[in-house]
Chain A
């Protein structure tokens, strides 16, 4: 042996003999890398991979939240198909398609169309846009929005978050890996025995775990509608009780809005949580440390794999051009850019261009609104058929669930 097996050896003699090379194979990195444990398979997508391998011709996949038509096929909505055709035909037309890089925070048209859809069409608060109060970036769907929100918040605002018990299986993974580490706690949300919302325990929890000594606010993750996985959402009155407490305790709300339109079939009716939080007669000073809206077109446009979504940070009032606070948005945007530049540089174009066409062509937008209604009607019909065969009341209990993909 010319060199010892220990990594502290620092011999600089030239190594050329192949027998020595094979000896070295057990050293250092090979052995370090060998010690990396197997991470558990993803709870949801792991099952899909098992489904794909199953040879049984009666197999059914009820795991992943993708809408399928009456024949079990994933087909684009008519509105999406029309937008796609427009995009494909006008390849050389730079309004629709060119393959250049998008800006770091996404395409400007996308920002205009999506903020208009979310804050004007959906909750009728156009002044938020006019008053320069939305810091916006295009993201890789809902997950991308939450991971960037989480990175940003833990860098500047908060180091603890509470999420509902139960929540989407990936939520704690996203938050943990993007800054919150192990400071993730669960608030009571759903009682598996009664199958109902644990509203009183939830309220108690918010107050009893609040520490007035803490120098940083706590963050709280809220599901806007179609709570995943329970399908149980608070009523508007329950939301009012909860949001009043969250606002009073100066927590930072992160709203995950992945299913807009899939609860009632009406895109604009599914925004009551967002509308309430941004109701100026109720909260005239807004949210001092921002409200984070993580939104996705995966489900309501069926653009799952194209990764189309957004993060909007709603800033407190006083951001008008020229006001002393108006630089806040510029500062936040610059920091968001830095985060994105270090993760993936700029977002993918194709899916966002389809969303742009749908949101900016009035006829297509109307068609899309109808497509969402049609999809939710079909899901409700299936639910009813399942109820007729199983006789489970919860399946058709309107208080518990409407059009969500899961139960």
Chain B
């Protein structure tokens, strides 16, 4: 073994979004627009520190007892309790019956990773189903734990709406007791969520198949500005499935608190109802010990700073109120930009129907632009987005929306006239 075995390691392609970021920062055109980013920007295209976060930071920094001591393995209690309350709601039956185990996680990815490790340890034979399409990193997180991944139909490109028939049929035909990963709100990348009636049908169908449900909740409050509205699916799931299957929820505070880089998140496991309270307590203790063991083996205990900020916001009435206003500020600016872009495309008479931009929700719009069109947008007009046609609406503002609309109009016309030739 004289030759080094390092040489056999394969080089992986760079992250697609990273490539966009790199090309964007090298671009010298002054009118360039970044619609690739998955983070909120204000009307001047700048990152925005929420006023509620500023209040919380100030209060923590001026606390004489502030220190950097280790948190518990399961995280900061004031944070995990607050996180559970806003997610499941003040009247949650699962909270009242004490059926939830919560562990602080390294944001949403960390929570999904805990779920994947937990499933691979105790239910390794289960198949994991994701919407088609889904967040680029979803499958990779579960595949890294050697779990088998599959997909269910979601986006119907022809109608730019949810393929409900395909979706329900996939649930029906999946092996009994599979795992279904659902986007709680603001589906990434399509921005398209089921209606309340559709959620009821989906959850009933999942219940019939004894499927285990995993909600990825990355945009609560960011999508509509209303925490309760954006938690509708999770709460309906708890209501409908409580007598049958456990529910996993992977919760991130990256977007709704705007603390992307501080990695604040929470993993919740909602137990199904047990025969009595003692039994619930026993199962909960066992699950909590197993989750802690996973956390201890990877990071020992979660990062403190961001969790302290969020705990402060969730447990102080003034700050909570300010935070609610902040979420409205963010979501309403994004909704305004959706309308502005759609209206401008209509005014320009751009071929096609653009109403889906307005009906989609959250950070992104699945524009329906083809990979060629996206390429031309970048080359000819300095507008950057993912080749799937996913545009980050947060990157739009009053100063650039005209340019973006005109450019989309140009590329769409360019390719439709080419098609006619």
Residues of A bordering B, CB below 8 Å:
7-10, 12, 14-15, 21-22, 24-30, 32-34, 36-42, 45, 49, 64, 66, 73-76, 80, 84, 88, 91-92, 98-104, 140-144, 147, 156-157, 170, 173-174, 176-178, 215-217, 250, 288-290, 302-307, 315-316, 325, 327-328, 330-332, 334-335, 337-339, 341-351
Contact = CB atoms under 8 A, between A and B. Distances in A.
Contact of B296 (A173, A335, A345): A173
B1 A176 contact: no
Interface residues of B, number: 88
Given A173-B297, A351-B305, 16 more contacts: A7-B176, A10-B176, A32-B122, A38-B285, A39-B286, A42-B73, A75-B67, A99-B47, A99-B259, A143-B299, A147-B297, A177-B297, A177-B298, A217-B5, A325-B7, A331-B11
19 contacts: A7-B176, A24-B243, A34-B283, A38-B289, A45-B73, A76-B68, A88-B61, A140-B298, A157-B6, A176-B297, A216-B5, A302-B68, A303-B68, A307-B301, A307-B304, A334-B14, A341-B140, A342-B109, A348-B306
B69 A304 contact: yes
A147 B298 contact: yes
Across chains A and B, which 10 residue pairs bring their CB atoms closest together, nearest first? A305-B304, A344-B106, A350-B305, A177-B297, A349-B261, A348-B303, A342-B144, A345-B109, A143-B300, A39-B289
B272 interface: yes
A14 B208 contact: yes
A140 B299 contact: yes
Contact of B244 (A30, A331, A350): A30
B172 interface: yes
Given A29-B244, A306-B305, A346 B297 contact: no
B297 A174 contact: yes
Contacts of A342: 109, 113, 137, 140-141, 143-144
Interface in B290-335: 290, 292-294, 296-306
A335 B15 contact: no
B350 interface: no
B1 A217 contact: yes
Given A156-B8, A290-B6, A348 B262 contact: yes
A344 B265 CA distance: 10
B1 A306 contact: no
A348 B106 contact: yes
A193 B51 CA distance: 61
B246 A29 contact: yes
Contacts of A140: 106, 298-300, 303
A32 B119 CA distance: 12
A195 to B, nearest CB: 28
A98 B303 contact: no
A37 B288 CA distance: 10
Interface in B171-195: 172, 176-177
B362 interface: no
Nearest to A152: B9
B305 A335 contact: no
Interface string B30-44: 000000000100000
Interface in B9-28: 9-15, 18
Contacts of A303: 68
Given A42-B292, A173-B297, A29 B245 contact: yes
B262 A304 contact: no
A285 to B, nearest CB: 10
Interface string B92-120: 00000000000001111110010001000
B167 interface: no
Contacts of B262: 99, 348-350
A345 B137 contact: yes
A317 B405 CA distance: 53
A306 B6 contact: no
Nearest to A42: B296
Contact of A102 (B18, B39, B261, B305): B261
Given A15-B208, A170-B300, A332-B9, A306 B68 contact: yes
Interface in B131-176: 137, 140-141, 143-144, 172, 176
A28 B244 CA distance: 8
A238 to B, nearest CB: 27
B263 interface: yes
Contacts of B204: 14
Contacts of A64: 70
A327 B286 CA distance: 47
A337 B39 CA distance: 20
A77 to B, nearest CB: 10
A348 B70 contact: no
Nearest to A303: B68
Given A10-B176, A345-B109, A331 B70 contact: no
B57 A346 contact: no
A25 B244 contact: yes
B415 interface: no
A346 B263 contact: yes
Contacts of A302: 68
Q: Which of B71, B106, B110, B285 has the most CB of A within 10 A?
A: B106
Contact of B260 (A29, A100, A170): A100
Contact of A99 (B49, B176, B302): B49
Given A24-B243, A25-B272, A42-B292, A307 B303 contact: yes
Contact of A33 (B72, B283, B301): B283
B208 A144 contact: no
Contacts of A338: 12, 140
B212 interface: yes
A315 B244 CA distance: 53
Contact of A305 (B71, B177, B258, B271): B71
Q: Which of B263, B275, B293, B298 has the most CB of A within 10 A?
A: B298
Contacts of B367: none
B417 interface: no
B106 to A, nearest CB: 4
Q: Which of B113, B210, B243, B303 has the most CB of A within 10 A?
A: B303
A366 B312 CA distance: 34
B297 A178 contact: yes
Q: Which of B11, B273, B287 has the most CB of A within 10 A?
A: B11
Contacts of B243: 21-22, 24-25
B274 interface: yes
A371 to B, nearest CB: 14
Contacts of A14: 204, 208
Given A33-B271, A42-B292, A143 B298 contact: yes
A91 B258 CA distance: 14
Contacts of B7: 325, 328
Contacts of A45: 70, 72-73, 296, 301
Given A344-B263, A348-B261, A41 B299 contact: no
A304 B68 contact: yes
A34 B122 CA distance: 11
